[in-house]
Amino acid sequence: MNKRPPRNGEKIEKIKNTLLVDGNSLFKTSYFGAKNAYNSSGQHIGGLYQFLTTLRKLLSEDLYHRVYVFWDGNFSGKLRYNLYKPYKIGRGKDYENGTQPIDESELKQRRMVWEYLNEIYIRQLKHEVIESDDFIAYYCLHKKENEKITICSSDRDFCQLLTNDVRIYFLDLKVYVDSSNFSSYFCFNQANSVLMKTMTGDNSDSIKGIKGLGEDTLVKFFPEVNERKVLLSEIIESAKQQQLERKTNKQKPLKVLDNIINCVTDGVQGDKLYEINEKLVNLSNPIMTDDGIRDLEHLIDGTLDSSGRELKNVLMMMKRDGLDELIGEQRYPEYLLPYKKLIDREQSINN
């Protein structure tokens, strides 16, 4: 249905484009993707350089009215750990003692990225226990009506947030994925994003799913997950029916189907596997704290203090850190032009 034309004197709000960046995902991709990027002092600056370069690319491709970068804190994930103790154990997380393996070069460059982004009016948020995924999910679920959102990450969990107004730039694929082209990259219907993770788990977060069940196997036995939205109860009922048919045809029952029916896992969830996994992976119910929500809402609605923020400061920082050497001493001021547009917009709001 076409919208009616505006009446005389009626104010029509323009579409606002917002970029939400998963800071940890972008930094990890940048840091390990530019291992050989050093300045003349022998200092590795690949994480800083590639982070700013990737962000610059996104700002060059589209007009974004605001950019937000969300970071994991020292104990981010603890709220999920309280539900499921093995959470992210494969990443060396220790939520009890707070000790995590730290690479000094990586830590230093993370601080440098924060400093640069702060100087160029990019809004940032980090919370001790809240994960960046939850901040991004909360933002998307409470977006303004006239707002279009792009999420920048490699995390497939964000697929469940896709709508007509929300798309994802996948760092590893280097493509924009939205509701219209989702099927070109994934083997299931986008509406089943939570269901897939609930049943198969997530190895990257050490979340165990049904024993012996992966995405390909799930699609093989239940092709409807690629066609339409499917409920967990439908999958279980279908598994029972398939086993009954095999018995009728004097075929051996399939272990993986029994596992689905009886909720068998290699994890510690037991018969609460589906209940626990759904809470862990479902971003339509982001796991937040009251102070985290307040911090986010203040970041969204508040204005940035412009005192002390100047583009010339960034140029000085680039020379200090050797970024001008990597970019090219003749063209490194031009490198900041996409950021300049963002700075101008933020300054016009403050003034």
pLDDT at residue 55, as a whole number: 97
Query: Cα separation of 39 and 9, whole Å?
Result: 57
pLDDT at residue 114, as a whole number: 97
Length of the chain: 351
Query: Cα separation of 258 and 290, whole Å?
Result: 41
Sheet holding 123-127, edge to edge: 123-127, 66-72, 16-22, 147-153, 166-170, 175-177
DSSP result, 202-268: EGGGTEE-BTT--HHHHHHH-GGGGTS---HHHHHHHHHHHHHHHHHTTPPPPHHHHHHHHT-BSSS
Quickly state the pLDDT bin for 101 (edges 50, 70, 90).
Answer: low
Quickly state the pLDDT bin for 98 (edges 50, 70, 90).
Answer: low
Tens digits of residue pLDDT in 223-251: 999 999 999 999 999 999 999 999 999 99
- Please list, residue by residue across 242-274, b when 16 or more beta carbons sit within 10 angstroms of its beta carbon and e when fewer do: bbeeeeeeeeeebebbebbbebbbebebeeebb
Per-residue pLDDT, averaged over 261-282, amounts to: 96
Tens digits of residue pLDDT in 69-91: 999 998 999 999 999 999 998 87
Quickly state the pLDDT bin for 95 (edges 50, 70, 90).
Answer: confident
User: CA separation (Å) from 120 to 114, 305, 346?
Assistant: 10, 12, 9
pLDDT at residue 2, as a whole number: 39
Structural domains in the chain plus CATH codes: 17-187+286-343 (3.40.50.1010), 190-281 (1.10.150)
186 HSE (CA, 13 A, CB side): 23
Instruction: Check whether 3 has a pLDDT greater than 60.
Output: no
Quickly state the pLDDT bin for 27 (edges 50, 70, 90).
Answer: very high
pLDDT at residue 82, as a whole number: 95
- The region of weakest confidence among 147-151, 228-232, 237-241, 336-340 is 336-340
Strands 201-202 and 207-208: antiparallel
Query: Cα separation of 333 and 321, whole Å?
Result: 14
Q: Is residue 18 a contact partner of residue 66, using CB atoms and an 8 Å limit?
A: yes
3-state secondary structure of 347: helix
Query: Cα separation of 225 and 345, whole Å?
Result: 44
CA dihedral 199, 203, 205, 211 (to 10 degrees): 40
Query: Cα separation of 118 and 310, whole Å?
Result: 10
pLDDT at residue 343, as a whole number: 87
Query: Cα separation of 272 and 113, whole Å?
Result: 41
User: CA separation (Å) from 71 to 26, 134, 136?
Assistant: 10, 11, 10
Instruction: Check whether 13 has a pLDDT greater than 70.
Output: no
Joined tokens for residue 156 = 């497939």
Strands 175-177 and 166-170: antiparallel
Phi, psi angles (nearest 5°) of residue 192: -105, 20
Query: Cα separation of 30 and 152, whole Å?
Result: 13
Quickly state the pLDDT bin for 306 (edges 50, 70, 90).
Answer: confident
- Mean pLDDT rounded to a whole number for the chain: 91
3-state secondary structure of 169: strand
Per-residue pLDDT, averaged over 24-43, amounts to: 95
Instruction: Check whether 10 has a pLDDT greater than 50.
Output: no
pLDDT at residue 147, as a whole number: 96
Joined tokens for residue 196 = 């897939």
Please give the DSSP secondary-structure letter assigned to residue 44.
B
Quickly state the pLDDT bin for 311 (edges 50, 70, 90).
Answer: confident
Per-residue pLDDT, averaged over 107-129, amounts to: 95
Instruction: Check whether 5 has a pLDDT greater than 60.
Output: no
